[in-house]
Amino acid sequence: MQISAHKEQGWSEKPRPSTIIIPVGPTVPSLFDLEDYYRSINSDKFRITFLRIVQPRTTDFSLDMCLSVVPSVVATNITIDKHHLADERRLCLDFVHHARLHGFKAKCVIYVDSHPGLAVIQAARQFDGDCLLLWAPEHLSRFSQTARDLYKYMIKHSPIPVTILPGTRNSV
């Protein structure tokens, strides 16, 4: 009812800023790349959600290796190293702080999930994303096979448009 009252009185409703989802992971952009991107868009029309997917792992000291943890039941609690999670949060907050310095509304979201591609797709839906922004390295061959598969999965299954920008500088 409130919206129709605004329209009747001739008021225009301020449009919702578009939400750009930027995964921070295999396609992590450098702060210089982000600055170039920020200059190309209007901070009043866009808000940014930085997304970090943390894959739970367990260390098997008998095999001296780190293994992925995939819960057998969806509601299973997964333990994760609090220091590792704090480091991941600091990384995301650095990106948020950088975006805010350039006038953007920004936030970070951290998912703990064994399936990062699916988590990115879920986040795009959950946070009403309008664009999934990825940075491509000069050559996709610099990625591991797992990272290449993740990259392809995000592009193929994204419910929102995907924009891929070239990575021009070294990552942070």
CA 161 – CA 108 distance, rounded (Å):
20
Give tens-digit pLDDT for 3-51.
Answer: 444 445 555 566 778 999 998 875 566 778 888 889 889 888 999 999 9
Domain with residue 108: its CATH number is: 3.40.50.620
Query: Quick check: is 79 in a domain?
Result: yes
Model pTM above 0.75: no
Query: Quick check: is 75 in a domain?
Result: yes
Give tens-digit pLDDT for 94-149.
Answer: 999 999 999 999 999 988 888 888 888 999 999 999 999 887 765 555 566 667 77
Query: Quick check: is 108 in a domain?
Result: yes
Number of domains in the chain: 1
**Nearest residue to 148 (alpha-carbon basis) of 36, 54, 26:** 26
Element (H, E) at 151: helix 145-157
Return the number of other C-beta atoms located less than 10 Å from residue 97's C-beta.
11
Query: Quick check: is 172 in a domain?
Result: no
Domain that holds residue 148: 23-166
